């Protein structure tokens, strides 16, 4: 073949490759171009960051979109020998710890260096989290798992794993934490080094709590979350910050002590039955206990988790903590920390005590509807403090999460997990927006505002979008989560029984109340006459605030318009988990403690192979 013929032959191939590249990537470039056109101000930096946020969000959705041919090929292919990233979970915990140590040894006066190290660390954590999307989804198994003997004489392991139940919560943590810190750097001016160190340690503890399967490790991580948040509220909070921080500490610690007592009893009972101690979740699942004993231990675990959620009547610490916490603390408290209570209830409350969890399900669901969804909404409706209103809205919205969990069917459970993510995005954005206007006026009193949409149009547009998400408008993320929860509760015959339909109707009434308090405060703050002269020169959102808000607003529509992309990874874990849970409670609890033989799979996941 001559050179000319070779060029002619290669020409079409090059054009085909270019055409394929354009066909695959044009949505990313189109989204970037649209994002660059959004800002009204002629600022290249602002337009650039809007374009980057829009392009990366579109790329994120495209990468997650299931490819039928690829799924079929992966199903037909033989299983791989081992995970592609065997120590990725450890790095997810270690990266924030390493970053916090770097901050610790940075001079206090070098504030720019402290900020740069903190944001670089959280960026590295976000990149490491993105690698989870390349991990194969395993039907009824852990996607990634590490198990190493830690203290063999006590039966303690370093055992961590990720599945479809914890996956999106880890992604949420890695995404929301840098946003919370980034926006906080615009208002926090004192003790910046301490602030950054606390946030990095908090991030490590939150991720550790989501992946820990050894109950000793889980309890250490669970308590490690308490200290940084206590410091964030107590040092950088509002006027009554010390009172709010102490109240938060007492409530959380009281629940933790009861959970610790239940863990110790369970570990002691396993040692009595097996002859060797173990704190491992998969080992402790094998302990069969009489129903009365299960109820007492379940109460210890459940109370610790329900305080963290929080649920009525142990919710009173939350409005004070949210109101007094700095903006970044409120964002991360609402977006991530509260979800650890609902996650813990699924993983450990239902996983370890199926009979007790099943018997308590209908009663707790009633509390979630009346004491959470409806009562929280009515309290929010009467608030004059915008931040306190959003805090009570969290109590109401997390009632939907808990109703979905208590209903214990695939639709409601997946809706609950998705609603955890949705609440983190929408309520995190609301707290961010409240912080924006508070930085300008230093008041959260609704009566002090009115008509500010005239001077802050971009801020008002963002608030309205997030409000639509919060009240569950179709097309936003809030709609699909609440719909799955309510429809799942309506069809729940196994756990909720005859109460399922009435509880679903109560939850539906809560949607109306949610629209009432959110639309009322929106009308009072943003519309009507601009009477207060202090509001006439309020600046609109800054570049820093716009960069923080952009990914949250994009995700509101991404989840609302493409919900299957986000629910698909849950199927492989939620289904087997509920099958195991339902199979266990349908068999009568033993009359005395027994130890079941070690199965090939435990609660939908294969037993770990310890690394010596």
**Per-residue pLDDT tens over the stretch 257-281:** 999 999 999 999 999 998 899 999 9
Band of pLDDT at residue 219, cut at 50, 70 and 90: very high
- Whole-angstrom distance, CA of residue 476 vs CA of residue 466: 9
Average pLDDT of the residues in 430-441: 90
Average pLDDT over residues 312-319: 89
pLDDT at 21: 64
* The two structure tokens encoding residue 182: 């980034």
User: Based on the number of CB atoms within 10 Å of its own CB, is 193 exposed (0-12), middle (13-18) or buried (19 or more)?
Assistant: buried
Distance CA 347, CA 416 (A): 13
Tell me what the mean pLDDT of segment 547-575 comes to: 90
What is the band of 9 on the pLDDT scale with cuts at 50, 70, 90? very low
The pTM of the full predicted model, rounded to 2 decimals, is 0.83
What proportion of the chain, given as a percentage, has pLDDT over 70? 86
Q: 605 - beta bridge partners? A: 602
**How buried is 543 (Cβ within 10 angstroms: 0-12 exposed, 13-18 middle, 19+ buried)?**
middle
The DSSP letter of residue 172 is H
What is the model's pLDDT at position 15?
Answer: 53
CA distance 112 to 90: 29
Cis ω before 90 (30° cut-off from 0): no
Alpha carbon distance 293, 265 (integer Å):
10
Structure token digits, residue 132: 């989870």
pLDDT of residue 69: 54
Cis ω before 310 (30° cut-off from 0): yes
Closest by Cα among 425, 312, 436 to 374 = 312
pLDDT (mean) for 50-54: 71
> Could you tell me the two tokens for 329?
């603390």
The pLDDT of residue 565 is above 80: yes
Do 210 and 343 contact (CB within 8 A), yes or no? yes
**DSSP assignment string, 114-149:** HHHHHHHHHHHHHHHHHGGGGSPP-TTS-SEEEEEE
pLDDT band at 10 (very low <50, low <70, confident <90, very high): very low
Report residue 74's pLDDT band, with 50, 70 and 90 as the boundaries. very low
List beta partners, residue 158.
Answer: 148
Query: Cα–Cα–Cα angle for 540, 34, 477, nearest 5°?
Result: 75
What tens digit of pLDDT does each residue of 83-141 get?
A: 567 789 999 999 999 999 999 898 888 889 999 999 999 999 999 999 998 888 887 77
Q: Is a pLDDT exceeding 60 seen at residue 464? A: yes
Q: Indicate whether 79 pLDDT > 90.
A: no
Average pLDDT, the chain: 85
**3-class DSSP state of 288:** strand
**CA torsion sign, 198 to 203 to 204 to 209?**
positive
Buried b (16+ CB within 10 A) or exposed e, 393-432: bbbbbbbbbbbbbbbbbbbbbbbbbbbbbbbbbbbbbbbb
pLDDT of amino acid 603: 41
pLDDT value at position 610? 39
| 417 vs 7: which has the higher pLDDT | 417
CA distance 325 to 201: 17
The 3-state secondary structure of 196-229 reads HHHHHHHHHHHHHHHHECEHHHHHHHHHHHHHHH
Q: What is the pLDDT of residue 271?
A: 92
Reported in sequence order, the residue ranges of 514-600 that DSSP labels E, i.e. its strands, are: 594-595
pLDDT tier at 444 (50, 70, 90 boundaries)? confident
The distance of Cα 90 from the centroid of its chain, to the nearest Å, equals 19
* pLDDT confidence tier of residue 204, bands split at 50, 70 and 90: very high
Q: What is the pLDDT at residue 162?
A: 92
Which of 517, 238, 512 has its CA nearest to residue 384?
A: 517
Per-residue pLDDT averaged across 414-425, rounded? Answer: 93
Residue 261 CA, distance from chain mean position: 27
**How many whole angstroms separate alpha carbon 130 and alpha carbon 330?**
25
User: Does residue 184 have a pLDDT over 60?
Assistant: yes
Question: What average pLDDT does range 288-305 have in this prediction?
Answer: 93
Could you give the dihedral angle defined by the CA atoms of residues 603, 607, 611 and 612, in that order, rounded to the nearest 10 degrees? Answer: 110
Of 74 and 578, which is predicted with more confidence? 578
Whole-Å CA distances, 365 to 368, 370, 380, 486: 5, 9, 21, 12
pLDDT per residue as tens digits for the range 329-368: 899 998 889 999 999 999 999 999 999 999 998 899 999 9
Q: Give yes or no for residue 222 having a pLDDT over 90.
A: yes
- Which residue shows structure tokens 């791989």? 80
Mean pLDDT of 438-452: 87
Asked if 541 contacts 458 with a C-beta cutoff of 8 angstroms, the reply is yes
Give the per-residue pLDDT at 364: 92
Which residue would you say has higher pLDDT here, 265 or 533?
A: 265
pLDDT of 63 reads 59
What's the confidence (pLDDT) of residue 60? 63
What pLDDT is recorded for position 39? Answer: 60
Residue 20's pLDDT is 64
């Amino acid at each position: 073949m001559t050179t000319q013929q070779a060029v002619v032959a290669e020409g079409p191939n090059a054009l085909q490759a270019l055409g394929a590249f354009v066909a695959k990537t044009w949505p990313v470039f189109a989204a970037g171009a649209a994002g660059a056109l959004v800002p009204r101000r002629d600022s290249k930096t602002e337009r650039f960051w809007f374009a980057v946020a829009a392009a990366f969000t579109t790329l994120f959705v495209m990468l997650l979109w299931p490819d039928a041919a690829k799924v079929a090929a992966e199903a037909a292919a033989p299983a791989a020998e081992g995970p592609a990233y065997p120590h990725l979970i450890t790095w997810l915990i270690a990266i924030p710890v390493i970053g916090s140590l770097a901050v610790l040894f940075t001079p206090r006066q070098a504030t720019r260096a402290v900020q740069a190290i903190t944001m670089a660390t959280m960026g590295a954590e976000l990149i490491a989290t993105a690698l989870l999307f390349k991990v194969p989804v395993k039907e009824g198994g852990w996607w990634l798992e590490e198990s190493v003997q830690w203290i063999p004489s006590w039966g303690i392991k370093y055992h961590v794993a990720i599945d479809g139940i914890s996956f999106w919560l880890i992604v949420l943590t890695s995404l929301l934490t840098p946003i919370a810190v980034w926006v906080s750097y615009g208002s926090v001016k004192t003790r910046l080094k301490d602030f950054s160190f606390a946030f990095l340690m908090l991030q490590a503890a939150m991720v550790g709590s989501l992946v820990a399967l050894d109950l000793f490790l889980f309890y250490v991580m669970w308590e490690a979350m308490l200290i940084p948040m206590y410091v964030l509220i107590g040092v950088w909070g509002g006027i009554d910050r010390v009172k709010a921080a102490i109240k938060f500490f007492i409530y959380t610690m009281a629940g933790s002590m009861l959970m610790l007592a239940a863990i110790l009893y369970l570990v002691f009972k396993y040692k009595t039955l097996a002859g060797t101690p173990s704190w491992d979740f998969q080992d402790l699942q094998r302990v069969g206990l009489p129903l009365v004993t299960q109820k007492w231990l379940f109460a210890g675990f459940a109370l610790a988790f329900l305080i963290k959620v929080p649920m009525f009547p142990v919710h009173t610490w939350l409005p004070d903590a949210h109101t007094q916490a700095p903006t970044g603390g409120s964002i991360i408290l609402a977006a991530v920390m509260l979800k650890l209570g609902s996650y813990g209830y699924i993983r450990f409350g239902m996983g370890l005590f199926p009979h007790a969890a099943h018997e308590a399900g209908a009663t707790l669901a009633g509390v979630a509807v009346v004491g959470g969804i409806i009562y929280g909404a009515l309290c929010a409706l009467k608030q004059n403090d915008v931040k306190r209103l959003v805090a009570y809205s969290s109590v109401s919205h997390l009632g939907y999460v808990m109703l979905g969990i208590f209903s214990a069917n695939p639709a409601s459970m997946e809706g609950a997990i998705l609603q955890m993510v949705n609440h983190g995005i929408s309520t995190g954005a609301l707290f961010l927006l409240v912080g924006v206007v508070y930085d300008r006026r230093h008041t959260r009193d609704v009566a002090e505002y009115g008509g500010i949409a005239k001077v802050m149009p971009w801020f008002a547009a963002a608030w309205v979008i997030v409000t639509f998400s919060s009240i569950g408008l179709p097309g936003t993320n809030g709609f699909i989560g609440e719909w799955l929860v309510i429809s799942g509760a309506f069809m729940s015959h196994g756990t909720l029984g005859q109460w399922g339909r009435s509880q679903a109707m109560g939850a539906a009434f809560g949607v109306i109340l949610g629209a009432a308090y959110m639309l009322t405060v929106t009308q009072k703050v943003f519309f009507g006459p601009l009477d207060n002269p202090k509001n006439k020169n309020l600046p609109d959102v800054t570049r820093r605030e716009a960069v923080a808000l952009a990914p949250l607003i994009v995700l509101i529509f991404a989840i609302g318009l493409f919900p299957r992309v986000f629910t698909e990874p849950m199927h492989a874990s939620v289904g087997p988990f509920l099958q195991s849970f339902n199979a266990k409670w349908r068999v009568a609890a033993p009359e005395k403690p027994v130890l079941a033989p070690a199965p090939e799979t435990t609660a939908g996941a294969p037993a770990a192979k310890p690394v010596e």
